[in-house]
């Protein structure tokens, strides 16, 4: 039988894909020493996807993320991989077909360890809805090219629907349809895409912000980046630059000093986390509202309930949920519940911003979820819009646009054939859960948890535990996570700060009843050795996290967006040296 170290080596082919502190330093050194085919700005899903797409075409790639991978929109979604049932009513059949195709790829080939089916009940209120919604369900299944990894929809009488959703009021429905979509830990998936890009040779680094552009005449020939750790500025030269910065798209375009070919508006969506035992449901829910839809989504020991859809023009790094946002969700979901939810039921809250293609007169709920790729100036490609599910298509289109301006022939995209790190062998390992538990000494439930987060890279963690058995202990204050996962977040997943671990590498900040306060110091101490932190740095990281939690809680008591924004931004930023939002263009020396 192969040893753990042999399994770990077999799971990692080609370049070392660990996003370790050493790998970050090596990437930054290379940034200043060579010309890349493609520089990608932004480490969200689309930016990481663009880096992976370009790298797997054989291009040299640098990926620069100002904060952390998925720190913006890509860690704050509804965590669904879905076609978007509501877009059928808008007759946006192309978007739905494209998204359902991507859902099938993620479930079956690209990320089966991270993406899994989830059921939803669509309750009906009137008899005329039976044929109308029923036709939509048939079309939804058909546009997906068959079920592709999820069961087809089924019609449920009122009695059968109540059997799987006894939390609903007797008068809440006359029956309904149950259908399936899929869900993902968005932040983990985005980080895994970035790590997969590194596996295929991309140089990736977080905490490094683009503060200007290099120009030769009209053409963009690279970027100027500032390392948040050292403060050093680095000139990164490139044949093509891709702007994949989501709600910051316009700011990056402004750096060039040219008018962009499209504009992006931010739409805020908030979500609540409710304890799983608070709602008697054996299925998720999708409920129609006057503007959009509201989801109740199973998520481990919780339900995620959301979302809202409102214009946001305040701080984009830290969008804030106000009390009125929370009340909006209560008002809608409580219409169908036997026992209404209250503020006392809320264990976690998060707010995110959707980057929507803008037309001046439209409300955000009507703005486009299609994506657009443009070339505002030679050498610069901008991509924006879209939805999380279609990140791979957006990335492909962006790299296609960049490739058209290259002097050499560029291979077509192969990311539809490229499994993410941890996907290879996942199904076989899942079938061996009991055997893996016996081999590692971990409980089978722990093995299932690790497989669902790391896939075949589980051996990286078991190897760490073998070297230090204390890492097999649960993290204080967050029993669902092992200490090994915190250490691994630093040594393999690019975590630079305590906030990165508690909010994105794990989801402790929204899942723990205390928002991760009890876990903060133990986690920081686990991070200290691989990051070289002294006692003062540990104390600073813990203090910053505690102040973040306090500010978020205060913002959620505020009556409106402006008051919530003031409360949330009162906490100091973990990256205090953030660049100005629209520096002037830079010319090469």
pLDDT of res. 16 = 87
CB 523 within 8 A of CB 486: yes
State how far the Cα of 486 lies from the Cα of 521, in Å rounded to an integer: 12
pTM recorded for the entire structure: 0.94
Q: Which domains are delineated in the chain? A: 14-73+188-264+368-417 (3.50.50.60), 103-184+265-355 (3.30.9.10), 426-568 (1.10.8.870)
Question: What does each of the 589 residues of the chain score in pLDDT, given as a tens digit?
Answer: 334 444 444 444 557 899 999 999 999 999 999 999 999 999 999 999 999 999 999 999 999 999 999 999 999 999 999 999 988 988 889 999 999 999 999 999 999 999 999 999 999 999 999 999 999 999 999 998 766 789 999 999 999 999 999 999 999 999 999 999 999 999 999 999 999 999 999 999 999 999 999 999 999 999 999 999 999 999 999 999 999 999 999 999 999 987 777 889 999 999 999 999 999 999 999 999 887 799 999 999 999 999 999 999 999 999 999 999 999 999 999 999 999 999 999 999 999 999 998 753 344 444 445 889 999 999 999 999 999 999 999 999 999 999 999 999 999 999 999 999 999 999 999 999 999 999 999 999 999 999 999 999 999 999 999 999 999 999 999 999 999 999 999 999 999 999 999 999 999 999 999 999 999 999 999 999 999 999 999 999 999 999 999 999 999 999 999 999 999 999 999 996 554 343 333 443 3
- Cα(474)–Cα(305) distance, rounded to whole angstroms? 27
Q: What gap in Å lies between CA 482 and CA 471, rounded to an integer?
A: 7
* Nearest-angstrom CA–CA distance, 474 and 277: 22
Residue 365 pLDDT: 42
Of all helices (H) and strands (E), which one includes residue 39? strand 35-41
Is 433 within 8 Å of 451 (Cβ atoms)? yes
Torsion-angle region of residue 367: left (phi > 0), alpha (psi -120 to 50) or beta?
beta
Partners of 36 in the β-ladder: 238
Q: Which of 467, 464, 439, 466 is nearest to 454 (CA)?
A: 464
pLDDT at 2: 39
Using CA atoms, how far apart are residues 39 and 37, in angstroms rounded to an integer? 7
In contact, 306 and 295? CB cutoff 8 Å: yes
Cα separations (Å) of 428 from 153, 432, 435, 456? 28, 7, 11, 9
Q: Are 114 and 420 in contact (CB under 8 A)?
A: yes
Dist CA 569 CA 524 (whole Å):
23
Tokens of 133: 């919604």
Helix (H, G, I), strand (E, B) or coil at 115: strand
Cα–Cα distance list, 391 to 20, 356, 458, 469, 547 (Å): 25, 14, 26, 38, 33
Query: Contact, 121 vs 166, CB < 8 A?
Result: no
110 burial level (CB within 10 Å; 0-12, 13-18, 19+): buried
Alpha-carbon distance of 449 to 520, in angstroms, equals 21
Is residue 304 within 8 A of residue 295, CB to CB? The reply is yes
């Amino acid at each position: 039988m192969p040893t753990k170290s042999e399994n770990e080596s077999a799971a990692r082919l080609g370049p070392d894909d660990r996003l370790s502190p050493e790998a970050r330093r090596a990437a930054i050194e290379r940034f200043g020493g060579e010309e890349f085919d493609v520089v990608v700005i932004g480490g969200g899903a689309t930016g990481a996807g663009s880096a992976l797409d370009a790298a797997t075409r054989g291009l040299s790639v640098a990926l620069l993320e100002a904060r952390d991978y998925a720190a913006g929109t890509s860690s704050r979604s509804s965590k669904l991989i879905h076609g978007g049932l509501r877009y059928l009513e808008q007759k946006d059949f192309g978007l739905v077909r494209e998204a359902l195709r991507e859902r099938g790829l993620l479930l079956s080939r690209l990320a089966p360890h991270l993406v899994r089916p989830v059921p939803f009940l669509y309750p009906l209120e009137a008899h005329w809805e039976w044929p109308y919604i029923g036709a939509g369900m048939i079309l939804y299944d058909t546009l997906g090219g068959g079920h592709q990894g999820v069961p087809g929809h089924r019609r449920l009488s009122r009695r059968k629907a109540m059997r799987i959703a006894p939390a609903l009021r007797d008068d809440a429905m006359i029956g309904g349809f149950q259908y399936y979509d899929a869900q993902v830990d968005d932040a983990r998936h985005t980080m895994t895409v970035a790590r997969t890009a590194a596996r295929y040779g991309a140089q990736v680094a977080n905490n490094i912000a683009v503060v200007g552009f290099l120009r030769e005449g009209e053409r963009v020939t690279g970027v100027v980046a500032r390392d948040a750790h050292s403060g050093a500025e680095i000139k990164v030269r490139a044949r093509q630059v891709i702007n994949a910065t989501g709600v910051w798209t316009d700011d990056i375009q402004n750096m060039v000093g040219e008018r962009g070919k499209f504009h992006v508006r931010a739409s805020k969506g908030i979500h609540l986390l409710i304890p799983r035992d608070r709602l008697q449901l054996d299925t998720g829910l999708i409920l129609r509202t006057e503007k959009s839809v509201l989801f109740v989504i199973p998520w481990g020991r919780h339900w995620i309930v959301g979302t809202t859809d409102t214009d946001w023009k305040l701080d984009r790094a830290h969008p804030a949920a106000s009390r009125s946002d929370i009340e909006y969700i209560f008002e809608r979901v409580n219409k169908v519940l036997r026992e209404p939810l209250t503020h006392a039921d809320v264990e976690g809250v998060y707010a995110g911003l959707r980057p929507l293609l803008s037309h001046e007169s439209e409300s955000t709920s009507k703005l486009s979820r299609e994506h657009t790729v443009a070339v505002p100036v030679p050498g610069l490609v901008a991509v924006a819009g879209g939805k999380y599910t279609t990140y791979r298509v957006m990335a492909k289109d962006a790299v296609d646009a960049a490739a058209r301006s290259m002097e050499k022939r560029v291979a077509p995209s192969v990311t539809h054939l490229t499994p993410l790190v941890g996907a290879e062998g996942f199904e076989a390992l899942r079938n061996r859960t009991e055997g893996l538990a016996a081999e590692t000494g971990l409980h089978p439930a722990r093995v299932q948890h690790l497989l669902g987060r790391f896939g075949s890279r589980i051996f990286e963690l078991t190897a760490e535990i073998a070297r230090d058995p204390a890492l097999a202990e649960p993290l204080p204050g967050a029993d669902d996570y092992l200490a090994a996962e915190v250490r691994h977040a630093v040594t393999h997943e690019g975590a630079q700060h305590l906030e990165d671990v508690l909010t994105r590498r794990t989801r402790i900040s929204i899942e723990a009843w205390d928002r991760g306060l009890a876990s903060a110091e133990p986690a920081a101490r686990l991070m200290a050795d691989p990051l070289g932190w002294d006692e003062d740095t540990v104390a600073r990281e813990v203090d910053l996290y505690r102040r973040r939690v306090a500010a978020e809680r205060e913002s959620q008591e505020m009556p409106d967006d402006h008051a919530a924004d003031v409360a949330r931004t009162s906490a100091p930023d973990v990256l205090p040296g953030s660049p100005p939002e629209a520096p002037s263009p830079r010319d090469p020396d």
